[in-house]
Structure 1
Amino acid sequence: MSPRYFVLAACLVAAFAAHAQTRGELLGSGTISTGLQETSVALTPDGNTLYFMRSDFAERDDTILVAHREGGRWGAPQVAAFSGQWHDSEPTLSPDGRRLYFVSNRPLRAGSAPLTAEMHGHRFAGTNLWYVERQTDGRWGAPVHVDAALNDGAMIYNPSVAANGDIYFSAHRPDSGAAYQIYVARRTTQGYAAPQRVELGDVARNRMDPAIDPQQRFLVYAGNEGDSLGSADLYIAFRQPDGRWSKPLHLPGEVNSTALENAPSLGPHFGELFVSSNRRDEVAFPKPRDTAATLQQRLQQPLNGSRNLWRFDIADVLRAHGIEP
């Protein structure tokens, strides 16, 4: 399991056993969302091409997939052209769709060893930020390493890009406290400035997986501010007139559950929020007696405790805080 969640391990056990209601819209049941782990939606501006991550339960083998909408339904995913050899994860698109950022343990130079990291005595695949750029023929170019201060270290996660090129991400850095915090690297004419921690409160709270509004009016992220229903929930903070961030608010309604919610991303439509969650179907006992075949079929389906992809609408929350399309 990713080291970002070691600090939540005890809560995760309870979350996997929880019988959360399956609300919202499950994305591509059986095609996109399966009995494996799926996280990190990146949807093109036209809404017809979807990039996401699929992995094993331990998240030791992460790969970025791409699927296309065909006749109103998602076609079978394929491994993205730039992925499939390294520990690639957490794709995100720039608002104009011309760049796709992701994190990877791939080495900077061919033939070198893959990037590794260590935290609390655990060694695991390290991550740096990379991107691919859309070419004139519509295909992606070769992956490019982001040579900037935000790639200091080997624990960079969940990039999210504003319209002006500022990159938000979560990381473990010297000023992160015991776990993870959210940072922003500002785009300048000379490249990216040194990352600054996004001030959201006490660094004793673990904060991960930012999803920034393209205009940077609000920020959605995963964490636990003391009122989480599960091991991690989703929160939203709003930009104040003085430039600071408001106190984070626990997202209301169906977005959060007693399961794990993380890896939020914003869709191309106003209020569209994609979430990874391991909420599962409720099992009532006594259940209809399984055969070996029905048991295997049921346990391999979505909502078996693996993380799946969900779509929610938070437009009312945004409008209540003065955000309009």
Structure 2
Amino acid sequence: MKNNYASISLLFTVLLMVNKSYGQDDFPVLEGPYLGQKPPGLTPELFAPGTIATRDWEGGAAFSNDMKEFYFTRQHPETKSVETVVFKSKDDRWYMSDVFPGYGPSFAPDGKVMHFGKRYKERTDSGWSEMKNLGSPFEEIRIMSLKVSNKGTYVFDEVGTNGDGIIRYSRLVDGIREEPQPFGKEINTGLWNAHPYIAPDESYIMWDGEREGGYGGSDLYVSFKEADGSWGEAINLGGEINTEVDDGGPRITPDGKYLFFSRVVAPADGDRWPDVDTYWVDAQVVESLRPRN
């Protein structure tokens, strides 16, 4: 997707200022897993309509590894600044617990690191560390989204211009971080390739981009790893997932059950960013595309 997913509504800011200790008399009751939402089937559905999916621009939905924290980013409708909203589950009920500036994180599989592109925080006994930098050579790359596999492999994009985004990887070999390498043409073909997701076991990669044969805007694609370690040809996730507008930002929940992604539902209007909503769908839509030997 051409734009980074982010925004925050004034309602959330006001709620936080009024009572940061979980006071939300006027806020919907969210109880149970997945912010109390009924899980979808094989057809994508809006996630938490009216609470997360609003008339503003939101995206980057991510659960923590224990599924007890939920992060997403929004654009403030008045200041136009980008902020991340955090919900936490306590006694099986979800509360908005924090708002901080900037884009939301992705989590390392062990839950001990939050990645913010080329920056990160480490979990400490008292919470999270101060922001740190990955350093060279990552510092020289305009990273928008970075994910990590169980083996410590980084998969990340580079914010491009005129559609020339590149997706790269960096493996951890014998404790040493490799120099970043671009994926081959199976993945880096077409325009606007961005927002990669790598399966924890490295069996597949998902991302969004534009290429011939797509549905119109940016589409979600998946490439499965072959037996010889190479990457298979890109597979479009199909017309149930992709539309004539931009669809992007794929992430699988830490429990492996659901695919989250974002979709443009209304164009930009003046200085207002497009209305982008968060959708979710059973992760079987990805597994059903896995080649059977």
Change (3 A) 1:219 1:2: closer
Change (3 A) 1:258 1:148: same
Q: Is the 8 A contact 2:62 2:106 kept in 1?
A: yes
Q: Is the 8 A contact 1:158 1:170 kept in 2?
A: yes
> Which residue of 2 is the match for residue 284 of structure 1?
none
Change (3 A) 1:148 1:193: farther
Please list, as runs of the form range in 1=range in 2, the aligned pairs for 1:145-294 lying within 5 A after superposition. 145-153=133-141, 155-172=142-159, 179-189=164-174, 191-201=176-186, 203-279=189-265
SS at match of 1:35: coil
Change (3 A) 1:59 1:102: farther
Deviation at 1:91, TM superposition (A): 1.6
Q: Distance in 2 between matches of 1:75 and 1:319?
A: 35
Q: Distance in 1 between matches of 2:74 and 2:98?
A: 11
- 1:315 counterpart (272, 281, 284): 284
Deviation at 1:271, TM superposition (A): 4.4
Q: Distance in 1 between matches of 2:255 and 2:110?
A: 13
> Which residue of 2 is the match for residue 132 of structure 1?
121
| Deviation readout 1:40-91 (Å, 9 max, x if unpaired) | 1221223221112112589963222211246766433631xxx42xxx2252
> Which residue of 2 is the match for residue 306 of structure 1?
275
Q: Distance in 1 between matches of 2:175 and 2:184?
A: 25
> Which residue of 1 is the match for residue 113 of structure 2?
99
Q: Is the 8 A contact 2:156 2:196 kept in 1?
A: yes
Deviation at 1:252, TM superposition (A): 2.4
Deviation at 1:38, TM superposition (A): 0.9
Please list, as runs of the form range in 1=range in 2, the aligned pairs for 1:53-72 lying within 5 A after superposition. 53-56=73-76, 61-69=81-89
Structure 1 length as normaliser, TM-score?
0.67
What is the one-letter code of the residue matched to 1:222?
D
Q: Is the 8 A contact 1:26 1:311 kept in 2?
A: yes
Change (3 A) 1:26 1:68: farther
What is the one-letter code of the residue matched to 1:52?
F
Q: Distance in 1 between matches of 2:177 and 2:197?
A: 19
SS at match of 1:30: coil
What is the one-letter code of the residue matched to 2:184?
E
Count of aligned pairs between the two proteins: 249
Change (3 A) 1:262 1:90: farther
> How big is the alpha-carbon RMSD for the aligned residues of Structure 1 and Structure 2?
3.2
What residue ranges of structure 1 are gaps of 5+ in the alignment? 6-22, 104-128, 281-298
Change (3 A) 1:91 1:231: same
Q: Is the 8 A contact 1:223 1:234 kept in 2?
A: yes
Change (3 A) 1:73 1:231: farther
**In the alignment, structure 1 residue 48 sits paired with structure 2 residue 62:** no
Deviation at 1:24, TM superposition (A): 1.9
Change (3 A) 1:204 1:57: farther
Identical-pair percentage: 23
SS at match of 1:258: coil
Q: Distance in 1 between matches of 2:213 and 2:78?
A: 27
Structure 2 length as normaliser, TM-score?
0.74
Deviation at 1:190, TM superposition (A): 5.5
Q: Distance in 2 between matches of 1:165 and 1:62?
A: 29
> Which residue of 1 is the match for residue 45 of structure 2?
25
Change (3 A) 1:181 1:100: same
**In the alignment, structure 1 residue 35 sits paired with structure 2 residue 55:** yes
| Deviation readout 1:255-284 (Å, 9 max, x if unpaired) | 21222111111112334211011236xxxx
Q: Distance in 2 between matches of 1:306 and 1:178?
A: 21
Q: Is the 8 A contact 1:149 1:192 kept in 2?
A: no
